[in-house]
Chains A and B, each alone.
Chain A
Amino acid sequence: MKRNLNSRTDENAIDAILAGEGELIPSSGFLAATMERVREEASVPKPIPFPWLRSLPGLVLVAAVLGWCGFEVVRVALAHPEEISFAKMHVAAANWTALGPAGWVALALGISLLSWLLSRKLAGGSGLL
């Protein structure tokens, strides 16, 4: 509820100065310029939302695989606790030959990245990220 300003006689000068400020009139082009920006904004097509429903089976599958992996790691660790050692995590130079399949993994990751970038481009840069 607004106060009855005229009934206040004990106001100090600061109140009077701040309350008595005149109104600024917007410039003549303000309305047109604002509506121009609104129309521009309205003409831009809305971004395509990420297809959560379609991706749901994939997400469930990924979650299941990760859960299964976690479960297996815990199961093995509990069955053979003596084999879990940080010292064994050191990769000896001689073992580098065993990392041959890493190239294939890197290639697969690269192809995945490219297909993701392509799909983002086709979708107009919108979506999850």
Chain B
Amino acid sequence: MPAAISAEEDLADVNRVLAGEVQAFEGIVRRWQGPLVNMAWRYCRDRGRAEEMAQEAFLRAWRGLAGWRRESSFSTWLFALAANVFRSELQRFPVVNVPLEDAAEPSGPATQHEGLARKLSDESVRRAVLALPRRYREPVVLYYFHEMDVAAASRTMKLPEGTVKARLARGREMLKKRFPQLGEEGSMPLKLALEQKKEITQ
């Protein structure tokens, strides 16, 4: 995860790249490929496209490495650059989406295939995020990508925290309206979901 990645290693690799050692960029790609591909995936939910967009982001980072002013951390700079790349890529070739009101209904829990039903239901909610209007979509995508950290999401979007919070609240409100049936009784608690995520990551 981004937090675990060493800032010193990034700094050392950046200095080596700027000194003309192209190979040192491999260290940066190795450390950040996971976060960037995952971030791109949340923007488009298409694996092939996510990798293409992440690759483009790395190339832009390579070209603009001298422009990192080191006032912010390397990760903040890289995520902001990647968000710009993903945003412009998706403007050029938008993801084909159904309107939010037409997003698939999550299926009810079936007794025999409860796990599968839950997976499908979760995926329909995640896909519905892409159907949100753009100004609300990105805060939602980045807030959950940054493990529910508004400050990190606002740094990535280069927007004030208040604006991000307001847009996030509106985006979540729209999702809640779209999926009113996802009440407390049928939902997976957040704690459990995060534990599952940890297991998947490990």
Contact B147 A18 (CB under 8 A): no
What count of chain A residues pass the 8 Å CB interface test?
34
CA distance A99 to B126 in the complex (A): 72
Stretch among B5-13, B92-100, B185-193 lining the A interface:
B185-193
Task: Tell me the dominant secondary structure on chain B's binding face.
Answer: helix
Across-interface contacts of B194 in A (CB, < 8 A): 5-6, 16, 19-20
Select one of A19, A30, A42 contacting B190, CB under 8 A. Answer: A19
Contact A6 B191 (CB under 8 A): yes
Contact A26 B54 (CB under 8 A): yes
A95, CB-defined interface residue at 8 Å: no
A21, CB-defined interface residue at 8 Å: yes
Stretch among B67-75, B77-85, B175-183 lining the A interface:
B175-183
B125, CB-defined interface residue at 8 Å: yes
Task: Tell me the dominant secondary structure on chain A's binding face.
Answer: helix
Across-interface contacts of A35 in B (CB, < 8 A): 25-26, 29
B-contacting residues, A11-35, CB 8 Å? 11-27, 30-31, 33-35
Q: Mark A26-59, 1 if CB is under 8 A from B, else 0.
A: 1100110111011101100000000000000000
Given A2-B147, A14-B175, A38:B62 Cβ within 8 A = yes
CB distance from B77 to the nearest CB of A (A): 17
Contact B47 A24 (CB under 8 A): yes
Contact B179 A38 (CB under 8 A): no
Across-interface contacts of B33 in A (CB, < 8 A): 26, 30-31, 34
Query: What is the chain B residue whose CB lies nearest that of A25?
Result: B34
CA distance A26 to B147 in the complex (A): 19
CB distance from A41 to the nearest CB of B (A): 7
Q: Mark B142-185, 1 if CB is under 8 A from A, else 0.
A: 00100111011000000000000000000010011001001110
A-B pairs, top 7 by smallest CB distance, nearest first, are A13-B187, A20-B193, A22-B200, A11-B190, A13-B182, A16-B193, A16-B190
| Residues of A in contact with B (beta carbons under 8 Å apart) | 1-3, 5-6, 8-9, 11-27, 30-31, 33-35, 37-39, 41-42
Besides A5-B194, A16-B189, A21-B42, 4 new A-B residue pairs in contact (Cβ under 8 A), listed by A number: A14-B176, A17-B193, A25-B34, A30-B33
